[in-house]
Amino acid sequence: MPSALHVKRAPRGVPKAQRDTVVKNPKFVAMEKDHMMELSHLFAQRNESRGEQRDKIQEVINLKVASWNDNVLLGETKFDLHGMTPDAAVDFVLEKIKKKGNYGEFTLITGRGKHSTRGIPRIKMLLVDKFTSRSRCSIIEELGNPGRLVLNLW
Domains of the chain listed by start with CATH number: 6-153 (3.30.1370.110)
pLDDT tens digits along 55-111? 999 999 999 999 999 999 988 999 999 999 999 999 999 999 999 999 999 999 999
Task: Say what the pLDDT of residue 112 is.
Answer: 85
pTM: 0.81
Tell me the pLDDT band of 115, cut-offs 50, 70 and 90: confident
HEC secondary structure over the chain: CCCCCEEECCCCCCCHHHCCCEEECHHHHHHHHHHHHHHHHHHHHHHHCCHHHHHHHHHHHHHHHHHHHHHHHCCCCEEECCCCCHHHHHHHHHHHHHHCCCCEEEEEECCCCCCCHHHCCHHHHHHHHHHHCCCCEEEEEECCEEEEEEEEEC
pLDDT tens digits along 138-151? 999 999 899 999 99
Task: Say what the pLDDT of residue 12 is.
Answer: 63
